[in-house]
């Protein structure tokens, strides 16, 4: 019984270590892989019976290196990176609006799946919170957030995630209250200030307050947000949106178009940029729709519709369709 218990503890410790290097410490994983590759190289070079294969001695180092790298790539892609692919697939399905499928893919690496490399429990619940919020299943999201908090989610992360739920429910005061709680724990955090700016932009339609918030974020040190682009790049796009409505339309439209062009390139490689790209396209479309450029608005709307299916994107499409119908008698896109 004791031996079995020790075996289970060792197994759990090994799985926790694999989970850590896959989901939280990629640099450690890569370092270990390089070290292991070198170990395999010397093992195959000096311990493998190359003479039985009649291989010339000059080719032994190349053959050893080829086998070592091949085994490492197979191990990395088939075993270590499989949960990352499942997580990425779940996020892509979420962006496409297939929320149940996204949750089912996430379940495959969840705590109950007993997979070799489980998703860290608090991050698993937090990922479910994000998907359930997008699906507008707010009660389920709140319950999931409580589980994430119990699994080790920090107070700052808890309040930030809760503010996103309240924002999705259009409970502005509650969302801002949660963000204030985050600010007390994370002083001058650019993500928190950016969220405040988004609430001013979309919920209160206070373009000057949103502009001030986005300017503060742009002046702060950049933070790692998504692979392939930068957080400042996204926020700068929203800053140009506010400039459209605060007396700088001509310059802002050119700058916004430049950011959109850059994000279109990035979004080809990382789909997680698509919601931001879709939002910026729709803001430019709304400007076109209200400034006698219906063709430009329709073009941006068609692109945005194929990028993301989040409820705010759909609502913004509906608002622009109403503008086009009222101003130009154009059928909904």
pLDDT of the residue at 188: 85
Kindly tell me the burial class for residue 34, based on how many C-beta atoms sit within 10 Å of its own C-beta (0-12, 13-18, 19 or more): exposed
pLDDT of the residue at 219: 92
pLDDT of the residue at 2: 62
- Where would I find the beta strands (DSSP E) of the chain? none
Q: How far apart are CA 64 and CA 46, in angstroms?
A: 9
| SS3 readout for 120-131 | CHHHHHHHHHHH
pLDDT of the residue at 71: 93
pTM to 2 decimal places: 0.90
Mean pLDDT by 10 residues, the chain (333 residues): 63 85 89 93 88 83 92 91 94 96 95 85 95 97 96 94 96 96 91 95 95 94 72 94 94 96 93 96 97 95 96 96 91 71
pLDDT of the residue at 56: 85
Do 281 and 305 touch, CB atoms closer than 8 A?
no
Q: How far apart are CA 280 and CA 298, in angstroms?
A: 14
pLDDT of the residue at 228: 56
pLDDT of the residue at 115: 81
pLDDT of the residue at 230: 81
């Amino acid at each position: 019984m004791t031996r079995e218990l020790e075996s289970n503890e060792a197994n759990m410790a090994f799985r926790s270590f694999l989970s850590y290097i896959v989901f939280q410490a990629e640099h450690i994983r890569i370092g270990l892989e390089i070290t292991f590759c070198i170990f395999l190289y010397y093992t195959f070079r000096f311990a493998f019976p190359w003479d039985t294969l009649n291989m010339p001695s000059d080719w032994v180092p190349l053959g050893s290196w080829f086998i070592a790298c091949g085994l490492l790539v197979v191990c990395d892609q088939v075993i270590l990176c499989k949960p990352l692919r499942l997580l990425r697939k779940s996020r892509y399905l979420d962006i496409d609006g297939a929320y149940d499928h996204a949750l089912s893919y996430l379940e495959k690496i969840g705590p109950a799946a007993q997979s070799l490399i489980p998703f860290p429990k608090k991050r698993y619940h937090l990922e479910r919170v994000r998907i359930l919020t997008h699906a507008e299943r707010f009660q389920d999201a709140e319950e999931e957030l409580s589980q994430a908090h119990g699994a080790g989610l920090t107070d700052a992360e808890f309040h930030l995630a809760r503010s996103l739920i309240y924002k999705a429910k259009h409970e502005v005061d509650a969302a801002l209250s949660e963000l204030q709680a985050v600010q007390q724990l994370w002083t001058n955090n650019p993500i928190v200030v950016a969220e405040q700016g988004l609430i001013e932009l979309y919920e209160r339609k206070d373009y000057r307050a949103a502009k001030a918030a986005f300017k503060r974020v742009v002046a702060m040190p950049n933070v790692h947000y998504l692979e392939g682009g930068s957080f400042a790049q996204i926020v700068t796009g929203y800053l140009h949106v506010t400039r459209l409505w605060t007396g700088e339309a001509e310059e802002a439209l050119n700058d916004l178009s430049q950011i959109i062009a850059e994000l279109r390139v990035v979004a080809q490689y990382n789909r997680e940029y698509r919601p931001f790209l879709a939002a910026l396209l729709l803001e430019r479309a709304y400007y076109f729709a209200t400034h006698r450029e219906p063709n430009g608005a329709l073009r941006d709307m068609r692109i945005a519709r194929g990028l993301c299916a989040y409820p705010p994107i759909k609502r913004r499409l509906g608002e622009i369709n109403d503008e086009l119908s009222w101003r130009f008698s154009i059928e909904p896109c």
